[in-house]
Amino acid sequence: MQAGLPRLHLLAAVLVMAVWGSNFVVIRIALDSFPPLLLAALRYTLAFFPAALFLKRPNVPLRNLAAYGLLIGGGQFGLLFIAMKSDITPGLASLVVQTQVIFTILFSLLLHGEKVRPFQLGALAMALAGLGIILTHTDGHTTPLGLALVIGAAISWSSGNMVSRAAGQVNMLAYVVWASLFAIPLLFGLAFLVEGPQAIVTSLAHAGAGAWAAAAWQALGNTMFGYAVWGWLLARHPAAQVAPLALLVPVFGMLSSTLILGEPLQDWKILAAALVMGGLVTSILWPQVKMQLR
């Protein structure tokens, strides 16, 4: 899996995973000051402006940019931020959202007319068993609603992966920046409808420097750097080779949440993580293992 990537490409991917994994802690901190949909809107506003003044819009159809912006901005992060506000812990969110690996591979298979093979169904069963353990341990910190929202975010992420691959080898930083334009009105509109103008004005007026720094990091570190590099890798390597690297996100996510926020790392979380990640690893590695056994 990883041996197929050039060393510098692999290093870039691991750095993105570290940024994305530790960002779940940053999100949790920012959500103490901003409502979730407003935070997502700020993330993409800061990602678009002022960078769009210096980056030419990539030569891809507007529908492709719009689809990516809506899926990643509105779908992935809108749902993820809502869930993390009060319905799932940062560590578990970083784990559950990685089911995008299976969805990305399944979507790739379906788009190319291939059949889902038995080992992939087995891998999916393992991942679902891990999610089932999380579901049976829902409490005030993690709820069934939170779990469903993060799975929805994972599906949106994997769909966005398919859209960015279809864009081809373009300037991915410009691609991510200009796609952000389509997420902004959706997220601000939903924020006004769901969270209300008063909550928005109050949070903007009272947010401290730390909250604004966390919001800015969503744009600079995660959106502009993270998704630009991620899309760049997906455009140059098969999805089945790149997507599994996202398995490092929950490693960074759960450790940083435990070390910084003091999130408990109980035995059931470790078992759930082993099942989910075991299913994801199986879905990728089994064909290679089978070939070596022949």
DSSP 21-40: HHHHHHHHHHTTTS-HHHHH
32: its two tokens: 């103490």
pLDDT of residue 201: 95
For residue 48, the model assigns a pLDDT of 92
pLDDT value of position 114: 62
**pLDDT value at position 38?**
96
Report CA Rg, the chain.
19
End-to-end Cα, the chain, rounded Å: 19
Give the model's pLDDT for residue 35. 96
State if pTM tops 0.85: no
pLDDT value of position 266: 84
Q: Is there a contact between 117 and 294 (Cβ–Cβ < 8 Å)?
A: no
The pLDDT value given to residue 287: 65
Handedness of CA 146, 151, 152, 158 (dihedral sign): positive
Please tell me the distance from the alpha carbon of residue 40 to that of residue 187, in angstroms, as a whole number: 7
- Could you give the CA distance from residue 247 to residue 222 in angstroms, rounded to a whole number? 17
From 169, 168, 178, 172, select the one nearest 67 (Cα to Cα). 178
Which CA distances in Å does 48 have to 79, 133, 187, 262? Answer: 20, 39, 14, 34
Per-residue CA distances from 136 to 121, 125, 143, 195 (Å): 22, 16, 10, 30
Q: What is the pLDDT along the chain (294 residues), one digit of tens a residue?
A: 334 678 888 889 889 999 988 999 999 999 999 999 999 999 999 989 888 998 899 999 999 999 999 999 889 999 999 999 989 999 889 888 888 877 877 777 777 666 667 777 787 788 888 888 887 877 667 888 998 999 999 999 889 988 988 888 888 889 989 999 999 999 999 999 999 999 999 999 999 999 999 999 988 888 788 878 888 888 788 766 776 777 788 889 888 999 998 888 888 888 988 888 888 777 766 666 666 666
The b-or-e profile of 167-183 (16+ CB within 10 A means b, else e) is beebbbbbbbbbbbbbb
Question: Which distant-in-sequence residues (6+ apart) come within 8 Å of 45 by Cβ?
Answer: 180, 184, 219
Instruction: Supply the pLDDT for residue 56.
Output: 92
Per-residue burial over 22-51, b if 16 or more Cβ lie within 10 Å, else e, is: bbbbbbbbbbebbbbbbbbbbbbbbbbeeb
The answer to whether residues 107 and 44 touch, using CB atoms and an 8 Å cutoff, is no
Sign for the pseudo-dihedral over CA of 177, 146, 26, 194: positive
Query: Residue 92: which of 278, 253, 271 has the closest Cα?
Result: 253
Predicted confidence at residue 1, as pLDDT, reads 38
CA distance 180 to 165: 17
